[in-house]
Amino acid sequence: MDIVLLSRWQFAITTIYHFLFVPVTLGLTLFLALLETCYVTTKRAHWKEPCRKLLKFFGAIFLVNFAMGVVTGIVQEFHFGMNWSEYSRFMGDIFGAPLALEALTAFFLESTFIGIWVFGWDKLPEKLHCACIWLVAIGSNLSAFWILVANSFMQHPVGYAIENGRAIMTDFMALITNPYVIGEMSHTLFSGIATAGFVLLIICCWKYAVDDASREVFLQALKAVSIYLIIGIMGAMGTGHVHTQYLAEAQPMKLSSMEALWETEDPAPFAIVADINQEKRQNDTEITIPGMFSFMLYNKPEGAVQGINQLQAAAEQQYGAGNYIPDVTGLFWCFRMMIACGGAIAGLAFLIGGLAWVKQDWLLKYKYLLALTPFLLPLPFLANSAGWFIAEAGRQPWIVVGLQKTADAVSPNLTPGEVFITMSGFTIVYLILAIIAFYVICRIIHQTTIDTANDEGRAL
């Protein structure tokens, strides 16, 4: 098997697995910070203790997720030396700076104040303890920012020069104000809020349905979580829409591949479904909405969108002969899966949130349906994985757009057997870790009771 393809598969598996935990951490730290702020400032004494126990309950789940994110994230950095040494040689001067800043700033905040927050209950003043979780939230999201700064350069290089065959940073401010990182960071932030909000919504629905003693507390939690989720999913949709419009300028090949638009059209239709024939560079059959894609990009039902075939010809003229078309089928269907999952999440958020706020009797009457909501848990993770597939696969065949191809970035001395063995090992270890983490989180959920009647509650 091709060494480049195997290395890409290995990196994809470890990255997607790592990114199962990252959005939950990003969103959950912010929710915990907001919840503890409410705990510290509330004037309703009868809710203070239940709020504290909710904090410890959600905090225990956060700690398991955070630990998994840290462990799986460490592996990512080793890939650049083991599998992608030519990339590291070419990009080290630029790629190393944001990674170093992540360790010096973001990871320092997270690792220091998460310990103080965990062990500081009843030892620190309430406001100081609350400040600790805010610093953890800032550190977690700052970590995402530095990683996205590095990734955004790979997508849209700025502030650099080529010297002696290597990319050299010439403008650090251009690097961190890259228009691509602004779109990626805002979308990632709101996606994290939506992911964490949906996970919490599922947990609250389950506890409301099966735990009679905790029902009143988790009804109130449902109200707060539903608002948080709605903010997250609507923000993710809005920032995703704006970023997609930006792709028309920054990465037109990725954009047209997401739509399987082979020829330039004005106005451009939106394909609901399509039978894509990448070998012939055409769609054998398709169902489209006329003008909709132009409307999505330009906010009006007209405007030309460049076709894949025209973009391929332009790339050949600029970079030389070669295939500059990414996996159109994968991008097309991942884009639609992301949209479908986002729509389902939004619908569920408005439905359950609305019932929690205005029709509590309906929630109680149909609580058995709430007990089925855990089956919907994969939705945000499917959306996140699809989004990252679009971001990474959409720039192929480039690892750094316009500067270095993926085939030129792989380590020269690797063998397919070595990559296959390590990829299999990572997959098995990650599967075991996933089972353990899932078991521990389920145990926390099952063993936690928060009863306002007798003020008893416990969480691992």
Residues 122-149 pLDDT 10s:
888 888 989 999 999 999 899 889 989 9
Q: What pLDDT is stored for residue 381 in this prediction?
A: 93
Residues 93-109 pLDDT 10s:
888 888 888 888 888 88
Mean pLDDT of 49-67: 87
Above 60 in pLDDT, residue 160? Answer: yes
- Nearest C-alpha neighbor of 239 from the set 284, 203, 187, 291: 187
> Under a CB-based contact definition with an 8 Å cutoff, are residues 269 and 288 in contact?
yes
Q: Is residue 183 located within the same domain as residue 105?
A: yes
Q: Is residue 242 located within the same domain as residue 262?
A: no
Average pLDDT value for the chain: 86
Q: Which of 323-337, 427-441, 443-457 has the lowest mean pLDDT?
A: 443-457
Q: What pLDDT is stored for residue 189 in this prediction?
A: 92
Above 50 in pLDDT, residue 258? Answer: yes
Q: Is residue 304 located within the same domain as residue 408?
A: no
Above 80 in pLDDT, residue 406? Answer: yes
Task: Domain of residue 362: give its range.
Answer: 3-251+329-458
Residues 232-254 pLDDT 10s:
999 999 999 999 899 888 889 99
How many other C-beta atoms are found inside a 10 Å radius of the C-beta of residue 1? 10
Both tokens assigned to 77: 């950095």
Residue 229 CA to residue 342 CA, distance in Å, equals 11
> Under a CB-based contact definition with an 8 Å cutoff, are residues 50 and 217 in contact?
yes
Q: Is residue 97 located within the same domain as residue 131?
A: yes
Q: Is residue 56 located within the same domain as residue 201?
A: yes
Q: What pLDDT is stored for residue 311 in this prediction?
A: 92
DSSP label at residue 265? B
Residues 407-425 pLDDT 10s:
888 888 878 888 888 888 8
From 325, 346, 377, give the residue that closes a domain. 325
Residues 268-297 pLDDT 10s:
888 898 888 888 888 888 888 888 888 988
Structural domain count of the chain:
2
Above 90 in pLDDT, residue 265? Answer: no
Q: Is residue 222 located within the same domain as residue 247?
A: yes
Residue 284 CA to residue 194 CA, distance in Å, equals 36
- Nearest C-alpha neighbor of 12 from the set 79, 81, 92, 94: 79
Q: Is residue 231 located within the same domain as residue 268?
A: no
> Under a CB-based contact definition with an 8 Å cutoff, are residues 26 and 184 in contact?
no
Above 60 in pLDDT, residue 458? Answer: no
Whole-prediction pTM value?
Answer: 0.88
Better-predicted residue by pLDDT, 460 or 366: 366
Residues 304-315 pLDDT 10s:
888 899 999 998
From 295, 325, 355, give the residue that closes a domain. 325
- Nearest C-alpha neighbor of 229 from the set 141, 352, 137, 133: 352
Q: What pLDDT is stored for residue 455 in this prediction?
A: 45
Q: What pLDDT is stored for residue 459 in this prediction?
A: 40
Q: Is residue 206 located within the same domain as residue 274?
A: no
Q: Is residue 311 located within the same domain as residue 445?
A: no
Both tokens assigned to 394: 């959409």
Which positions ≥6 away from 255 have C-beta within 8 Å? 244, 247, 248, 297, 305
Residue 423 CA to residue 231 CA, distance in Å, equals 38
- Nearest C-alpha neighbor of 64 from the set 444, 373, 450: 444
Residues 200-234 pLDDT 10s:
999 988 888 877 777 788 888 888 899 999 999 99
> Under a CB-based contact definition with an 8 Å cutoff, are residues 11 and 79 in contact?
yes
Q: What pLDDT is stored for residue 452 in this prediction?
A: 60
From 325, 351, 382, give the residue that closes a domain. 325
Q: Is residue 256 located within the same domain as residue 371?
A: no
> Under a CB-based contact definition with an 8 Å cutoff, are residues 103 and 111 in contact?
no
Q: Is residue 132 located within the same domain as residue 268?
A: no
What percent of the chain lies above the pLDDT cut of 70?
97
Q: Is residue 297 located within the same domain as residue 385?
A: no
Q: What pLDDT is stored for residue 6 in this prediction?
A: 86
Which ranges of 102-214 would DSSP assign to H, the alpha helix?
107-119, 126-155, 172-176, 179-210
